[in-house]
Amino acid sequence: MKPEKVVFLSIMICYIGFGVINPILAPLIRDVGLEEQHAGWIVSASALVMLLTSPLWGIWSDKLGRKPVMVIGLIGFALSMSIFAALVLVGLRGGINLTLLFILFIASRVLFGLFSPAVISSSQALIADLTPPDKRSSGMALIGAATGIGFLIGPAMGAGLSTIHLVVPIIISAGLSFTVIFLVIYRIPRIAPKQNERHASVSLSRPGMRPYLVVATCLMSTIVMLQVTSGFFIQDKFGFDGKTTALWVGIGLFSTGFMMALVQMTILRKRSLAPRTLLRVGLPIIAVAFLALILAEHISIIIVAFLLFGIGGGFSLPGYKSGVSLSAGEQSQGAAAGLTATAAGIGSLIAPIGGTTLYRLQAELPFWIGLSIIVLLSIYVWSGHVGLNIQVQRDKSGTSKLTA
């Protein structure tokens, strides 16, 4: 199996772990006796640790190599999922103080937030190592496709297997994580680090770096807010019980993942579009998706909204990732991947607490805020801001170079 395929599987299984929680989070929180804002704090605790550790994992992958960082990350990721599954069982049986359970839930997600950036940052950097600059968008589309498929399988697992027991999909996800560790060990070669410690960081002053990181932060804040609050929204709007809510949220997130993977495997892997072009296409589609979600009066319209989220995300996520990667330069791809994860982590830190707090004020308020952010981002990327104009050109010798 080629390294690219192992990276694909690693990212896919990692995002299965992300996605499997989403359809069961809302009913799980309520079934163990906790409240909506507890879900926000649990998710934000993980995001805070991701924010703090993502740039470090990226730098370490530049220094130590991609393979050892991937292995460490996958082991920690699998253990964190196993611990979370055990806590779910304890909580559902009701034999534990709710305050202690809440603290332990946070601790398990702190472990998740500590190790998952190692997998994401090192995998993204490895793909950057294996693709030339003029093919970088299509290379990042492979990461995006793995992300989309992970979000496709994860919610489907969460929704389908939760009908057996809420803990089953979490256990399966942990098992998959342990399995892929052996593929990384035996199928990814040990590639020598590209640079020494003195050059392990990347400057934020490089052309395009700050604008694309701003886009990443704002976009991910809306996506995470959607993931955390949509389960509560669907359950309350249509009066579903816990298992029915998990089923419909799973179908919705499955639809998102399916469309995201379809866009990236059929369009972006065949055409290497400029980062700004990808954002110009994707962000307006996400805006329409938010509007459809807000105005929906039937569950079928909710599913249509999730489909549109997948299409828009299929263009937008590779857009900001390839923009940051191209801006960083070829010798700092691990650091660039860490910065990308950090930007996403900032959004993931703010969104869960903000989204659940807004939801308690008014159910549709988080989605109106999300729509407003996406509209402003769309205006930004369609404006004449020169920092977003990262282009790849080849000189007469065939060497790729960047222009801004």
Structural domain spans, the chain: 3-189+201-390
- pTM for this model (two decimals): 0.67
Average pLDDT rounded to a whole number, residues 336-355: 75
CA dihedral 270, 274, 276, 282 (to 10 degrees): 0
User: Contact 46/112 with Cβ under 8 angstroms?
Assistant: yes
Number of Cβ within a 10 Å radius of residue 254: 25
Average pLDDT over residues 107-126: 87
Average pLDDT, the chain: 81
| pLDDT class of 206 with cuts at 50, 70, 90 | low
pLDDT category of residue 333 using cuts at 50, 70 and 90: low
Lowest average pLDDT, out of 252-256, 345-349, 396-400, goes to 396-400
**What would the pLDDT profile of 39-96 be if each residue is shown by its tens digit?**
878 877 887 888 788 778 877 887 888 888 999 999 999 999 999 999 988 888 887 8
| Confidence at residue 398, expressed as pLDDT on a 0 to 100 scale | 42
Which of 8-22, 340-354, 366-380 has the lowest average pLDDT?
340-354
pLDDT tens digits, one per residue of 153-180: 887 788 778 778 888 888 998 898 888 8
Q: What is the pLDDT of residue 292?
A: 95
pLDDT at 192: 63
Identify the sign of the CA torsion 91, 248, 176, 143.
negative
Q: From residue 396, how far is each of 94, 204, 379, 393 by CA, in Å?
A: 70, 30, 37, 10
Q: Which of the four pLDDT bands, split at 50, 70 and 90, describes residue 140?
A: low
Which is more confident, 284 or 17?
A: 284
* pLDDT of res. 270: 66
- What is the average per-residue pLDDT within 34-38? 82
d(CA 301, CA 299): 5
Query: Which of 354 and 100 is assigned the larger pLDDT?
Result: 100
Region of poorest pLDDT, from 112-121, 140-149, 279-288? 140-149
C-alpha 57/C-alpha 341 separation (Å) is 10
Which comes out higher in pLDDT, residue 207 or 211?
Answer: 211
Report the percent of the chain where pLDDT is more than 90. Answer: 19
- Mean pLDDT, residues 278-304: 93
In the predicted model, is pLDDT for residue 294 greater than 90?
yes
The candidate with the shortest Cα–Cα distance to 91, out of 43, 22, 27, 154, is 27
Structure tokens of 193? 């680090």
Q: Which fold has domain 3-189+201-390?
A: Growth Hormone; Chain: A; (1.20.1250)
What are the φ/ψ torsions at residue 398 (nearest 5 degrees)?
90, 5
pLDDT attached to residue 198? 45
Q: What average pLDDT does range 187-201 have in this prediction?
A: 59
Residue 145, pLDDT above cutoff 80: no
Across 170-191, average pLDDT: 85
